[in-house]
Amino acid sequence: MEMNHVLVVEDDKEIREGVEIYLKSQGYEVFQAADGVEGLEVIEKEDIHLAIVDIMMPRMDGITMTMKLREKYEFPVIMLSAKSEETDKVIGLNIGADDYITKPFAIEELLARIRVAIKLHRNFNKGTVPEAEDGLLRWGHLTLNEKKHQVTYDNHQISLTNREFQMLKVLLENQDIVLTRDVLLERVCGYDYVGETNVVDVYIRFLRSKIDQVFQVKMIQTIRGVGYVIKSEE
């Protein structure tokens, strides 16, 4: 079995080395970097499968580093933040991170996030996501093509991250069914999510900004106190 290569970009040496020791014990090959500049240098030299990136670092912060690596690379990025403010999480996810975890964190939780992120990324790239009968899911003028991993509205292509694509797919597959945040997390992440459920709200906000607001439609509806639903058009 291929060994997964994980890059840990963190200016706190104790955290960086602690994560490396644990991940190596779990069969991962680990590379270290103390800031974003070093992190990008490692990525250019090594075949990285996932990066764990701290937000607050000297020389180059995690937000800037993630923006730069997304210009060339698509591997998953998990962001670390010492802050609990949603602003950091939203910025990180919006610029291309796949997940986030707030410090201090349980190392077992980080491992679970890593496993899921790598699995989702490989399934997404291989096209092994379960398909509708014709590979297409539709709502009005919107079409989600699972085989090509594309979403269009009146032939205008909509750029979505892997997680946004999966979230939209689950909602389209279950039109007229209200899905709770817990259900959406489990369906999208493929396991009982151990983090905060408000990450669903963040992805829903992104989807609305890219679809509902751009094309002046009300596709994703909030059912207060329950969850979200896409109602089939009559």
Do the beta carbons of residue 190 and residue 128 sit within 8 Å?
Answer: no
3-state secondary structure of 105: coil
Under 8 Å between Cβ of 39 and 80:
no
Q: Which of 135, 137, 7 is nearest to 80 (CA)?
A: 7
* 61 CB-near residues (< 8 Å, 6+ apart): 36, 55
The whole-model pTM stands at 0.65
> What's residue 24's pLDDT?
94
CA 109/CA 147 separation, integer angstroms: 32
Q: Letter for the amino acid at 43?
A: I
- Per DSSP, the three-state class of 43 is helix
Cis link prior to 76 (omega < 30° from 0)? no
Closest CA to 73 of 42, 111, 31: 42
CB atoms within 10 A of CB 149: 15
Which residues of the chain does CATH 3.40.50.2300 include?
5-126
The CATH number of domain 136-230 is 3.40.50.300? no
Q: Which CATH topology does 5-126 take? A: Rossmann fold (3.40.50)
Ranges of CATH 1.10.10.10 domains, the chain: 136-230
Question: One digit per residue, pLDDT tens: the chain, 234 residues?
Answer: 568 999 999 999 999 999 999 999 999 999 999 999 999 999 999 999 999 999 989 999 999 999 999 999 989 999 998 766 567 777 877 888 888 888 888 888 888 888 878 877 776 665 444 444 567 899 999 999 988 889 999 989 999 988 899 999 999 988 888 888 877 887 787 655 555 557 888 899 999 999 999 999 999 999 887 889 998 864
Closest CA to 40 of 17, 78, 9: 9
Q: DSSP characters for 54-89?
A: ESS-SSS-HHHHHHHHTTT--S-EEEEES---HHHH
Report the C-alpha gap between 230 and 173 in whole angstroms. Answer: 9
Pairing of strands 179-180, 156-158: unpaired
**pLDDT at 34 (0 to 100):** 96
